[in-house]
Chain A
Amino acid sequence: MSAVLEITGLKVDIPVSAGDLHAVRGIDLSVGKGETLCIVGESGCGKSLTSLSIMGLLPSRARVSADMMNFTGRPLLSMSETELSDIRGDRMAMIFQEPMTSLNPSYSIGNQLMEPLIRHRNASKDEARKRAIYLLEKVGITAAESRLNQFPHQLSGGLRQRVMIAMALMCDPELIIADEPTTALDVTIQAQILHLLAELRREFNSALILITHDLGVVARVADKVAVMYAGRIVETGRVEEVFNNPLHPYTQGLINCIPIPGKTARGSRLGSIPGIVPTLIGETQGCSFRNRCAYAGPACEIDDPVVELAPGRSYRCVLPEDQLKRQGDETIGKTGSLEAASA
């Protein structure tokens, strides 16, 4: 599988009054054709900044640097704004979280849908119109032709999100980045939108980066998972590996926090991660999770080495794999799963 996007050592620094905010602190990512990578983490962990830096949409005062950031083999960071504009919306497209704020309220749906094709492919209005209708039908919008003349405020949240997806697909992009595409939606609509995304990705063979904090979404959609904490990827691997055998104490904590129907006993106490995310302003040393970690020791103040178990499967912790695995088995049992309660 050839990599559509390959990133090593991506850093995003934002100057603030108190110094530099190191929002993304050296992350490696790669996603291949037809592959879905989920970046999961809590607010402020840098997942949205990562996606915006890939799209080149960060404000100029944010400093983006990377050892390598190649999109289909071409370095993104050395491209001019014009070159980037040619790629954005054409070869790579983004689906934003809030369809109401990311669609332009004063242009019709049709106008906004047709724009990328006219801009990037010199398509005629007629061709663009046909493609727009085709894609609106693909994303499950009925009476597609009449929708083209409607404005965003005339559509419901689920429909707007579908329009956003159709817009991202207009030029048949190689890479789609979806930032929390279903967070604002009902569960029923969420399932439909994700179903649709998975289907479209199969059909168009695009690479998909899905950014979310919802572990349910990750488990069901992802091929690969990257768990982010405080600007770093603390654990990555194939989705089954990360969910069935979480190694980093943060990943274990996250999985422990959510009630799992059929597994977590009703009304039992849920696991939690005490403490708060440390500030990322100024220099930080050692593991940034250590102040919330039950297993932290003196070694954690010095370093959080990357341990690579296999290609594409790694975690960031001083502890060896077998010890982390044992700890995981113990803590995940502690939340009062049905098996533990009946035993």
Chain B
Amino acid sequence: MSQQQSQSSGAALPPPVLEMQDVTKTYMVKRGIFSPKQPLRAVNGVTLTVRKGEVLGLVGESGCGKSTLAKMLLGLETPTAGEILIDGIPAHLGDRIAISRRIQPIFQDPYSSLNPRKTIGSIISLPLRVHKVGDPSSWRKSVEEILDIVGLPRRVYESYPNQLSGGQRQRVAIARALIMRPEVVICDEPTSALDVSVQSQILNLLMDLREELGLTYVLISHNLAVVEHIATKVAVMYLGRIVEETGTENLFERSRHPYTRALLDSVLTPEPGLGVPDSNLGIAFPNPISPPSGCTFHPRCVKAMAQCSQIVPRPLTDELGHVECHLYDPETRDNTAAA
């Protein structure tokens, strides 16, 4: 919180659009035919606030729970515990349809997220039909307007997805997300299925739309260069927990959690001659059904201390943001002897 205050330098903070309070999602999974079901905590006590106009980047390795988090924000999954507030109203109390008008998704793969048997016009106007907005005669006009906004020619109205390129399809997905004029767009890997030259067009479009329409984004990506480029703040997830959260500049220039450091060290920037970095992470992403004791990152951590395998680190929030690591906790940092 203090982080955001320091960024806005005293000015009134924009109101929070999305708030997650200690949200947990537990799945019951079976490991074998005869073994009993075991709980898997995909998201484990996440507290997050996204304010109007912000771009929250959510990063982490596959299996860390970032997509589950996105599904809960979209109302596709209900949290096992904790609460999600949308514009200050608990999501489970609000009207499901009304919430879906305000929060819209853009998915990763524009090849599988568009129905191949529907025309582009029909795909984009579906939200209008579901929410019964205006009368059918006005739908075509709304679709054409949104096509203009996302930079597609109006003639694609009658086309089918297979007649469009990957970049055009992703523009269709964006148009479908925007036609209800949502406040929040959840982008789950919006560019990772696209070619480099198309990726930059889509990123430019997302940035322009945010400015023009005052959108708030939750951007899930494993491409840290993309996150650094468009996010205003970043949350790093590891095994269902947010281990570090801070403003983009802080995260990329003064990261604190050893996991964030390792992630940043793994990024291959296009600079020849530097070679491939060694993140020292080891290969074993732990089994989320039986996570390691103490700090769940300790088996892979280069800075692990004796207490890390025993004591779960407390969430710490200071002027540099939020971090969960014994290295930054004055109470547990030096008690190696106690452990």
Contact = CB atoms under 8 A, between A and B. Distances in A.
Interface in A151-209: 156-159, 162, 186-192, 194-195, 198
Given A213-B195, A269-B204, A270-B204, A187 B228 contact: no
Given A187-B266, A243-B270, A157 B62 contact: yes
A332 B40 CA distance: 48
B281 A192 contact: yes
Interface residues of B, number: 46
B276 A220 contact: yes
Interface in A194-247: 194-195, 198, 213-222, 239-240, 243-244
Contacts of A214: 268
B64 to A, nearest CB: 9
Using C-beta atoms within 8 Å of the partner chain, give the interface range for chain A. Answer: 35 or more
A35 to B, nearest CB: 15
Interface stretch (B99-107, B132-140, B219-227): B219-227
Contacts of A244: 272
B267 interface: yes
A260 B267 CA distance: 11
Interface in B145-186: 165-166
A253 interface: yes
A259 B278 contact: no
Given A216-B270, A253-B197, A270-B203, A259 B225 contact: yes
A186 B222 contact: yes
Contact of A266 (B166, B248, B269): B248
Interface in B183-234: 195-201, 203-204, 207, 222-226, 228-230
B263 A188 contact: yes
Given A140-B283, A269-B204, A255 B270 contact: yes
Contacts of A157: 62
Nearest to A40: B196
Contacts of A187: 61, 222-224, 263, 266-268
B149 to A, nearest CB: 17
A258 B225 contact: yes
B229 A188 contact: no
Nearest to A242: B272
Nearest to B262: A188
Contacts of A156: 285
A218 B198 CA distance: 19
A273 interface: yes
Q: Which of B197, B198, B229 has the most CB of A within 10 A?
A: B197
A194 B266 CA distance: 11
Given A42-B196, A188-B279, A191-B266, 18 more contacts: A141-B283, A142-B284, A187-B61, A187-B222, A189-B283, A191-B268, A191-B277, A219-B268, A219-B274, A220-B274, A243-B270, A243-B272, A255-B270, A258-B199, A258-B270, A261-B252, A271-B200, A276-B165
